[in-house]
Amino acid sequence: MLLQQIFNGLALGMGYALIAVGYSLVFGILRLVNFSHGSVYAFGAEIAMVFIVSMRLGIIPGILLSMLFTGILGILIDKAALEPLRKKGSPPIASLITTIGISNIVTNLLIIFLGSEKRNFPNFFGHSGIHLLGGTVSMTQIMMCVISVILMLILVFIVFRTKIGLAMRASQQNAKAARMMGIDVNFVIRFTFFLAGVSAALAGVLIAGYYEIVYPNMGFMAGLKAFSAAVLGGIGSLPGAILGGLIIGNAESMAVMFLGSTYRDSVAFIILILVLILRPNGLFGRKGITKV
Amino acid sequence: MLLKIEDLHTNYGAIHALKGVALEVNEGEIVCLIGSNGAGKTTLVNSIMGIVKPAAGKIIFDGRDISRVPTYSMTKAGIGISPEGREVFPELSVEENLRIGAFVVREQRQIKESRERVYELFPRLRERRQQQAGTLSGGEQQMLAVGRALMSNPRLILLDEPSLGLAPNFVEMIFAMIRKINAQGVTVLLIEQNANMALQVSSRAYVLENGIVSMSGKASEIAGNPLVKKAYLGMA
């Protein structure tokens, strides 16, 4: 039973980790908590539903298209709302509030065009499972973990092994110097939003497939939990986001087991509050990100 | 003429920081710009680099007005900079910092050649190439900042206060490097508070005072000027 909950927690945690990565990537470069990220995640799940169920494009093309479009949504959000604020040199709080506004806009557009009701999302991997150490791991859970790990590895590769990744890290550490070295920092920021959107869309598809349900507001709670995961891991840190997601996912499934499912949504926030009090920089956070 | 600045006015917030600056740098020269704190030296650098937009005037580099060109296009245009305060990327390795300096260079071979050239100029950087830049000493960070600026093979290199806060032996070394870099064909515009050293390595000099060029000419003549001696060289 305990083992079963750990399996559940790992699969769910991988999903949270994929969303948390988006918070961390954007925070790393802009020092901004992008509160529209939850709605971007919901957008990814919703349009995957459109591509796969309404347009019958097939599962894999549907998921890939959803990732592409959600990545583009990320770019649009930055281009339309955040870049103008940066150009004007607005205070950070203006950007923060703007992201909350964008979140509402995206969610409401989803409601207008796709309806507000909860709909069934297809389960791609069937309900078969493997019996392991007294628990049952479903194919869906295994695939959630496998696909998430693949995307994480791709992200880590991009950030630490490619030229654009080097530009991302340089821009995080000193945007002004990065510009002077020939890096178009605004392009790097747009690319970061694209990556965040792509991961959020994949998380949306996986989590919607796991619960077999999709609705426009699904990003609200998942977004906040993933935000807690990012803070727990140390916001701005890619490995931190992954570990934070796994811990939050497991804490949630443990809460279901020991406290009952009424408390499942609260445990992430209890962790968030504890982290903020006890270790504000998170597990992998740097102490006071300084510029030399 | 490689760089020509005409009647440049730049506002810094509410302050009229540059009030009609004119300055020229010819290919192959070392030109220095001296002046006290708040004279407008950094504003001039920021104007050339497109970090602040000039209110009026022209900045012509290699025959083209660059006063409205974004900062990130400067390396491509042929201007390298070692900024004030060095501004190396603290959590990147020395080698990664150099790679960023060559960000606009496409050919891998050219990047390798530039890196070899930098390591020959500053063997210390080769020793520390895997080390995080933030853990280097001030002098080593300055070497890295200059090396990073050379990575894009610039025609003009701006050195903004390269000696600031360095131990005397490092100051000597940096100025010796400036001569060496110039001998390799790179034009240098040196912005310095250390007027004494700056005037020794330069062929021509400009004195910036309250946002205008108060004096300009051969470095040796400027160094011999009684007013400069008193105000900038600490001689009576």
Instruction: Work out the minimum CA distance from A21 to partner chain B, whole angstroms.
Output: 20
Q: Which residue has the higher pLDDT, A21 or B232?
A: A21
- pLDDT at residue A292, rounded to an integer: 28
Residue A144 in tokens: 């959630």
Of B83, B96, B134, the CB nearest to A180: B83
A173 with B72: Cβ contact below 8 A: no
Average pLDDT over residues B104-109: 96
B30-34 and A213-214: which strand pairing? Answer: unpaired
What DSSP letter does each residue of A159-203 carry, written as one string?
HHHSHHHHHHHHHHH-HHHHHHTT--HHHHHHHHHHHHHHHHHHH
Q: In what order do the strands lie in the sheet with B3-12?
A: B15-25, B3-12, B56-61, B64-65
pLDDT for res A131: 82
Q: What is the pLDDT of residue A146?
A: 94
Give the closest-approach CA distance of B223 to chain A in angstroms. 32
**Lowest mean pLDDT across A251-260, B56-65, B81-90, B198-207:** A251-260
B77 min Cα distance to partner chain A (Å): 10
Residue A221 pLDDT more than 70? yes
ipTM above 0.85, yes or no: yes
pLDDT in tens, A134-148: 778 888 899 999 999
How far apart CA A111 and CA A217 sit, in angstroms, is 9
In this predicted model, which residue has the larger pLDDT, B206 or A239? B206
Given this model, what pLDDT does residue B36 score?
A: 87
Mean pLDDT over B167-196 rounds to 94
Cα distance from A30 to chain B (closest Cα, Å)?
A: 16
B150 to chain A: closest CA residue: A181
Taking an 8 Å cut-off on Cβ atoms, the answer to whether A182 and B103 are in contact is: yes
Report the percentage of chain A scoring pLDDT > 90: 80
Give the gap in angstroms from C-alpha B41 to the nearest C-alpha of chain A: 17
| Inter-chain residue contact B100 with A167, CB threshold 8 Å | yes
Bridge-partner residues for B23, per DSSP?
B5
Token digits of residue B93: 């390795």
pLDDT in tens, B23-40: 999 999 999 999 988 889
Residue contact B91–A169, C-beta within 8 A = yes
Helix (H, G, I), strand (E, B) or coil at A213: strand
If you ran DSSP here, which 8-state letter would residue A266 be given?
Answer: T
Alpha carbons A45 and A67: distance in angstroms, whole number: 9
Residue % of chain B over a pLDDT of 90: 89
Name residues whose C-beta falls within 8 Å of residue B80's C-beta, 6 or more positions apart in sequence.
B101, B149, B150, B151, B152, B154, B156, B157, B158
* Chain B CA closest to residue A184: B72
Q: How many residues does chain B have?
A: 236
By Cβ distance, the residue of A163, A179, A182 closest to B152 is A182
Query: Closest approach of chain B CAs to the CA of A51, in angstroms?
Result: 39
Q: pLDDT grade, residue B236 (50/70/90)?
A: low
Domain positions in chain A are: 17-219
Q: Are B99 and B144 in contact (CB under 8 A)?
A: no
Of A177, A185, A290, the CB nearest to B83: A177
Average pLDDT, chain B: 94
pLDDT digits (tens, 9 = 90+) for A45-103: 999 999 999 999 999 999 999 999 999 999 999 999 999 999 998 999 999 999 999 99
Give the pLDDT score at A291: 32
Residue B87 and residue A174: Cβ atoms within 8 Å? yes
**According to the model, what pLDDT value does residue B37 have?**
84
Chain A hits for B104, Cβ within 8 Å: 182
CA angle, A243 then A232 then B134, to 5°: 85
DSSP per-residue string spanning B134-167:
GGS-HHHHHHHHHHHHHTT--SEEEEESTTTT--
Nearest CA in chain B to A179: B72
Enumerate domains of chain B plus CATH numbers: 3-231 (3.40.50.300)
Cβ separation B148–A181 shorter than 8 A? yes
With contacts defined as CB-CB under 8 Å, which chain B residues touch A182? Answer: 72-76, 103-104, 152
Q: pLDDT class for A290, splitting at 50, 70, 90?
A: very low
Of A167, A169, A290, the CB nearest to B103: A167
Chain A interface with B: residues with Cβ < 8 Å: 163, 166-167, 169-170, 173-174, 176-185, 290-292
**Coil, strand or helix: which one is B60?**
strand
8 Å CB contact of B92 and A184: no
> If DSSP states are collapsed to H, E and C, what string results for B70-123?
CHHHHHHHCEEEECCCCCCCCCCEHHHHHHHHCCCCCCHHHHHHHHHHHHHHCH
If you average pLDDT over residues A175-187, what whole number do you get?
Answer: 97
DSSP A286: P
C-alpha triplet B11, B14, B18: angle, nearest 5°: 30
Indicate the average pLDDT of chain A: 92
Which tokens belong to A205? 């598809």
Per-residue model confidence (pLDDT) at position B75: 96
Whether the pLDDT of residue A159 is over 90: the answer is: yes
pLDDT grade for A286, boundaries at 50, 70 and 90: low
